Structure 1
Amino acid sequence: MQLHRQGARAGAGQSQIALALHALATGAETDLGKDERRWLVPADAASNLWCDDTLTPAGELRQRWDGLSSLNQALLGNPLMQYGVGMRFLTGSGVPRDRALGAAWIARARAGFEALDGVPAYAAAIRIVEARLAERMGDDEKRRAREIAANLSATVTELR
């Protein structure tokens, strides 16, 4: 966790995600800073998800680059980046906003963490995120998310 704290201070999204998930799993969500909290779906269903509408043109280009880079790592099987891509799709950060696609990537990340030894806390945290997200989605979005998640699961498995 110390390495993730250092990485998060340096702006590493993957470390921010790891800290956010760990805090959620251990009940320390309120102790998170803004940079880590943005990677979680708020418990209050009325709260908005993170979105930075104040980016400069250079910031927007960087955000798109980060979105594409994250997507590449997610397709190669990195569960932290799968989760990150899911949150990016939920918020429209560097990729088009699409809740069903975001939920599908988050489900894929949970499955990835469940398959790995030593990170059950991340899977548990993602289950909390999924429950919060389910409160915000309609039945059609949930159905579409399940269909996409099944496709992602098959695709990511093939790439491993």
Structure 2
Amino acid sequence: MTLCRPRTLLTWLLSGMLAAGASPVMANETDQAVAACLKAWVTHPFGDRPSYRVLGTSVKVFGIGSSSADTEKTTSPALVVVNPGVNVMGGSVIELLNPNGWYCLRSTVSVMGGMTIRLACGAQLASLSGTATVMGNNADQKGVTVMGSTTVERVGCPEGNRI
């Protein structure tokens, strides 16, 4: 059995993730993502052809880069597609803070670092990516984690009522 050297593995992962994070997302791909999330939720308030917002890609390498946050609080259900979050050797937080938000998470990738998804109490979350964990912690089964951790943290819930 041949093992991949850590440096080779990291180079391979970084090049694939950065290429995926940098590529433009076509409307058709986003529509397919929305359809998959609606199917995952089974029951939702949006109908067959819902309108939605897209939250930009978050990329952090060595703690440097952009984060994603949805801080808009709506009075009715809002469908939001969350483009990929990539974190390499650092910490990253994606904030999804609309209690009426229905968040369709395209993907998260965390390599040798920690990624936290802060999700408003009452918000819904569906993840489209397959899950994989290599030498790390990904108890919530959201995205791909290699030698790191990915967690979903509920915020704004009354004490004792966290989901």
Give the TM-score normalised by structure 1: 0.28
Q: Could you state the TM-score of these two structures normalised by the residue count of structure 2? A: 0.28
**Structure showing the higher strand proportion among its residues:** 2
Quick one: higher RCO (CA 8 Å, sep 6+), 1 or 2?
1
